[in-house]
């Protein structure tokens, strides 16, 4: 028997035209689905970018009104705040390190944060966990 018979008794069509039709239909379905997905993601991107642009405009308006309010307050006679005391710095810490720490705190917390002291913290590498030390002693013990 030169044809393949399936378990249901249906004879499979092995003609070239049927095979080409199935392949072309499969590739066509995949490409159409891909085009639909591209369109959906493009639409999502347009919606998100539009909403972000609107939020940015709102924030710019709010910032502008806040600046105008701050300028009107600044025009009033307000005494200058007392200068903050310099932080206590442990010996051996360079000025560049203190400046970097201060800039990082200012960037994260804003101008209201105050640094009172800068000191070194013990490195976890130099101080070993007692359980880890016991493991090292146990694993390096001579036979």
Rounded CA separation 86/115 (Å): 8
User: Can you give the residue range of the structural domain that contains 52?
Assistant: 1-75
> What is the average pLDDT score of the chain?
83
Task: With respect to residue 59, please indicate whether it lies within any of the assigned structural domains.
Answer: yes
Task: With respect to residue 127, please indicate whether it lies within any of the assigned structural domains.
Answer: no
Task: With respect to residue 137, please indicate whether it lies within any of the assigned structural domains.
Answer: no
| Segment 25-50 mean pLDDT | 97
Of the listed ranges 7-16, 40-49, 58-67, 109-118, the one predicted with least confidence? 7-16
pTM of the model: 0.39
Task: With respect to residue 103, please indicate whether it lies within any of the assigned structural domains.
Answer: yes
Rounded CA separation 13/16 (Å): 9
Indicate if 58 and 98 belong to the same structural domain: no
């Amino acid at each position: 028997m030169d044809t393949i018979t399936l378990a249901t008794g249906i004879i499979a069509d092995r003609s070239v035209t049927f095979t080409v039709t199935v392949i072309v239909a499969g590739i066509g379905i995949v490409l159409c689905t891909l085009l639909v997905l591209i369109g959906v993601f493009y639409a999502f991107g347009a919606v998100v970018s539009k909403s972000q642009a609107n939020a940015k405009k709102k924030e710019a308006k709010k910032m502008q009104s806040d600046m105008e309010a701050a300028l009107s307050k600044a025009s009033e006679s307000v005494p200058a705040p007392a200068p903050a005391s310099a932080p206590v710095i442990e010996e051996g810490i360079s000025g560049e390190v203190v400046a970097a720490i201060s800039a990082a705190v200012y960037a994260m917390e804003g101008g209201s944060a105050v640094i009172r002291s800068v000191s070194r913290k013990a490195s976890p590498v130099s101080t070993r966990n007692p359980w880890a030390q016991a493991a090292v002693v146990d694993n390096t013990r001579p036979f």
